[in-house]
Amino acid sequence: MELLASHAVLSEGDDEQSCTQQVLHYFETTSLVCYDKIVVDEVLRAASEPGFNAALETEIERNRRTLERFVSELGTTGFETRTDLLSLDQGYHSKVLHIIAHFLDGFIGIDSAFYNLVDDSHWVPEETGRRIAETPDRFSLLFLKCYSLTPREASLLHA
């Protein structure tokens, strides 16, 4: 098996076990990403745990950098305005636009460093940030290692 992706996933629940079960159930049932094996590498159980907020910010920043990279890549096509959508060729560049849209609309992909399962988002809305601060023991940040036979075989098997 090859490591295909790593994700940090924010979840909310009564305890670490329920948060972990939520995350694993999500990955078992979503059709957005398919992995042959998922390993929970680390769990930061509560926002009051040392390193929780720093880890959360680091993972959100990784998403921002990834999104910026895709936007920059789309810019190499000459894409500047909304009207440029009309002339964007199907193929690799339209796929880049598709990935950008997923980051903005909350669909997880293998490029997602951080995923907020609470809000189905790649970010943490202000309201959720307040809830984390008010009830830190309800939130967990799970770090996952996601494996597939090989990326090519995985896409053939799960298409």
Q: Would residue 132 count as lying in a domain?
A: yes
Q: Classify residue 32: in a domain, yes or no.
A: yes
Model pLDDT, residue 11: 97
Residue 96 domain-assigned? no
For 55, the 3-state DSSP assignment is helix
Q: What is the pTM of this model?
A: 0.88
Confidence class of residue 122 from pLDDT cuts 50, 70 and 90?
Answer: very high
Number of domains in the chain: 1
Which domain range does residue 15 map to? 2-65+108-158
| Position 156 confidence tier, pLDDT thresholds 50, 70, 90 | very low
**Any domain includes 70:** no
Number of other CB atoms surrounding residue 136 within 10 Å: 15
Give the type of residue at 132.
I
Q: Which of 94, 142, 144 is nearest to 118 (CA)?
A: 142
